[in-house]
Amino acid sequence: MAYRIDETRCVGCGACAWVCLFDVPAPTEAFGAIYHIDEDKCVGCGQCEDVCPAAAVSPLPGQRRIKNVVIDAEKCVGCSLCAHVCPAKAVHGELRKTYEINQEACCQCGVCAAKCRHDAIRVTYE
């Protein structure tokens, strides 16, 4: 999943870059220029779309936004890998016990699900 910025609508405010936990949106030129998103680096969390005052950010055609990320307690082995890779620090727990996701802190990027070696994290889409 990746997002893009409509360069005809971008006002160069930098809100997308400020909110991105992955440092993906970048100015195309010097300060005050319009921003762009490297589609290969974008994880599709949608934080940039939520804060854009010009409504210039949207998902690429055919892409769906992550709606929810949940850890399956029966599959989780408590390895802590999900907690280590979470950029929002939304995953918590104790080693060898089931980990949990703080839904209010979760940026819904899906990195934890992509890295889970036990297929214990489910992602649902809008």
> Are 55 and 11 contacting, i.e. CB atoms less than 8 angstroms apart?
no
CA distances from 17 to 21, 37, 125 (A): 8, 9, 24
Identify the domain boundary among 12, 35, 59. 59
> Are 112 and 74 contacting, i.e. CB atoms less than 8 angstroms apart?
no
Same domain? 54 vs 75:
no
Task: Encode the chain (126 residues) as per-residue pLDDT tens digits.
Answer: 789 999 999 999 999 999 998 999 999 876 568 999 999 999 888 889 999 999 999 999 988 888 899 999 999 999 999 999 999 999 999 999 999 999 999 999 999 999 999 999 999 987
> What is the structure's pLDDT at 71?
97
Closest C-alpha among 26, 7, 2 to residue 16? 26
Measured on CA atoms in the order 109, 121, 114, 102, is the torsion positive or negative?
positive
Same domain? 71 vs 51:
no
Same domain? 97 vs 70:
yes
pTM: 0.74
Q: What is the span of the domain harbouring residue 38?
A: 3-59
Same domain? 106 vs 72:
yes
Report how many domains make up the chain: 2
